[in-house]
Amino acid sequence: MSSSGVPAVTGRRLSQDERRRQLIGIGLEILATKPIHALSTDEVAARAGISRGLLFHYFPTKQDYHAAIVRAAARRLLSASQAARDVPAAEQLTSIVAAYAGFIDRHLDPYVAFFHGGPGADPQIRAIYDEVRDALTDRALAAAGAEATPVARTVVRGWWALVESMAVDRAGESGVPEGDLVAYAVQALPGLLAAAVGLGG
């Protein structure tokens, strides 16, 4: 568990890309454990076997470093939350929700730390959250075969919030089996969308 996949033979000279990857990997490890304000640049530098100064060469600000880490976590979440290949159109949505819920189930603590964690007031991080929600919303709308009107998007974003809430609850305490949760969520969406067609605007 020394340092995130990359062996980090201390003393070697890494390429920009290797170093960035290593530093982000270390950040992913640490931020899964403690909040940002408890992550010190000293610790990161020590784990990476480099000087404090070098960290700021790669990420001019601690906020930038934090944003890069969250962005990496977001990429993982999005790439995990795709429909399995060779899935018939009718089961696309189920496949996506199952993948998403499974991801939360497998990585509950880090998930909560990353996506309910960072300073919500930081615009960089807020933007990343929005991108994730938008991407998931696009996928769900496409899989559900629904038109992407503004109202429909709002509803689907809300529905994702519901799914996330229940998935986190489930992984935490409630005894609902994952399969049931997925089926419930998929079954609930059409009704929510249908009832929204008359909504203002």
Calculate the CA 171 to chain-centre distance: 16
Span near a second copy by CB under 8 A; candidates 17-25, 49-57, 81-89, 173-181: 173-181
Site for a second copy in 151-170 (CB under 8 A): 151, 154-155, 157-166, 169-170
Gap between the Cα atoms of 103 and 18, Å rounded: 26
Stretch that binds a second copy, among 11-19, 49-57, 81-89, 177-185 (CB under 8 A): 177-185
Q: Which does 117 bind (CB under 5 to 8 A by kind): a second copy, DNA, none?
A: a second copy
Nearest to 55 by CA among 70, 66, 44: 44
Structure tokens at 93: 């949505």
- CA separation for the pair 162, 59 (Å, rounded): 35
Taking CB under 7 A as the criterion, the residue among 30, 39, 83, 182 binding DNA is 39
Among 35, 61, 75, 145, binds a second copy (CB under 8 A): 35
Q: Which positions ≥6 away from 153 have C-beta within 8 Å?
A: 137, 141
Stretch that binds DNA, among 58-66, 83-91, 101-109, 118-126 (CB under 7 A): 58-66
Q: Rounded to 5 degrees, what are φ and ψ at 100? A: -65, -50
CB of 7 to a second copy, least distance (A): 28
Q: How far is the CB of 91 from a second copy (least distance, A)?
A: 19
Which residue of 98, 104, 136, 181 would you call a contact of a second copy, by CB under 8 A?
Answer: 181
Binding residues for a second copy, rule CB under 8 A, total 47
Find which of DNA, a second copy, none residue 195 binds, CB within 5 to 8 Å per kind: a second copy
Give the separation between CA 4 and CA 21, rounded to whole angstroms. 9
Q: Residue 48 or 166: which CB sits closer to DNA? A: 48
Partner in contact with 29, chosen from DNA, a second copy, none, beta carbon below 5 to 8 Å by kind: none
Q: Is 11 helix (H, G, I), strand (E, B) or coil?
A: coil
The single residue among 11, 37, 53, 90 that binds a second copy, judged by CB under 8 A, is: 37
Render the burial of 132-165: b for 16+ CB within 10 Å, e for the rest: bbeebbebbbebbebeeeebbbebbbebbeebbe
